[in-house]
Amino acid sequence: MNRLILIFLLVLFRQSVYAQCVADAGKDSVYCGSRFDQVELGGSPTASGDYPPFQFKWETLAPLDSSILTDSTIANPLATLSSTVKLILTVTDSKGNACYDSVQLVSTGYSTDFEFKVGQIKLGDSVQLRTSIVLSSINNPPYRFQWFPADGLSDPNIENPKSSPSDTTYYKLTITDRYGCRYFDEFQVWVDQKLSVNTDAGGMNISYSIKQGTLEILNPSTDRIFVELTDLSGKTVHHMTSSSPVIKEELHGLSAGIYVLQIAGVGSTVVREKVVITR
């Protein structure tokens, strides 16, 4: 008697395992694309289990628009992204066992103005980043923003951060909508690390550069100039006087940061600019 019960349980267990049905509506839970793009649905295979052949039925919660799918009864139909819709796949095996999966089709009228975005700033200044992607054309808020690299940005996770890099930087933007669809853009910031300034005061023509803690000043007129470097609070951190045509000054002891450089001739200021010292 016990042996008969054991055999009966083994048969039930074997039927339960063999009766398993697995449906695969696609490798991704969401398909993203521009309006009227086409994608192939289903997996490889779309159904698995021990009781083939399988029957397939693709449908939506609302009546299915026949123009969306090439065929709603095959394993791998082509879907047209004419609207944002959730499709439900029902797979039925030869024993009547059913299994289910679903996939979200996300259609956007995504557009961009294809503007080449570049900002040119002097070292120590800032520029506001922007995107050419028209968010209203995506129409799937809320959005997540991520600018990379984050160096020099006021906030890498907002749409229009302020950028103040110490060197020319290419920023890449990823926008993610509520469905997980991603959109990409770029913004280039050119940093002018060398500035030429002309003044009528004595006909002086001064140029300077400041790189890796070294200040270089070209003074072709050889007039006496006064150089002062202050921090943002106005405290003088370095100063000198020279009439040399080429001045190279090592700024020892200064930490990396933003300072104000002032170069003056006799009775006139030639340069007064924010500068960035890097190490």
What average pLDDT does this structure show over 79-92? 87
Residues 6+ apart with CB under 8 A from 235: none
Rg over alpha carbons for the chain, rounded to the nearest Å, is 33
State pTM to two decimals. Answer: 0.57
When the pLDDT of each residue in the chain is averaged and rounded to a whole number, the result is 80
Terminal CA-CA length for the chain: 87
Among 141, 172, 192, the domain boundary falls at 192
Confidence of residue 16 (pLDDT cuts 50, 70, 90): very low
Residue 45 corresponds to which amino acid?
P
Confidence of residue 85 (pLDDT cuts 50, 70, 90): confident
What pLDDT, on the 0 to 100 scale, is given for residue 47? 92
Among 108, 137, 167, the domain boundary falls at 108
Residue 149 corresponds to which amino acid?
P
- The token pair that represents 209 in the structure block: 């550069």
The H or E element containing residue 6 is helix 2-18
pLDDT tens digit sequence for 178-215: 888 889 999 988 887 654 444 444 455 666 776 667 78
Query: Percent of the chain scored above 90 by pLDDT?
Result: 30
Count Cα neighbours of 50 within 13 Å in the Cβ-side half-sphere.
7
Which residue would you say has higher pLDDT here, 120 or 42?
42
- The token pair that represents 136 in the structure block: 């209203």
Looking at the structure, tell me whether residues 201 and 187 fall in a common domain.
no
Its domain, for residue 176, covers 118-192
Give me the CATH number covering residue 267: 2.60.40.3080
Helix (H/G/I), strand (E/B), else coil: 211: strand
CA dist 129 and 277 (Å) reads 23
Which residue would you say has higher pLDDT here, 10 or 61?
61
Give me the CATH number covering residue 162: 2.60.40.10
Count Cα neighbours of 118 within 13 Å in the Cβ-side half-sphere.
6
Cβ-based burial of 135 (10 A; exposed 0-12, middle 13-18, buried ≥19): middle
Tell me, yes or no, whether 125 lies in a domain.
yes
- The token pair that represents 63 in the structure block: 């009546």
Number of helices (H), then strands (E), belonging to the chain: the values are 2, 22
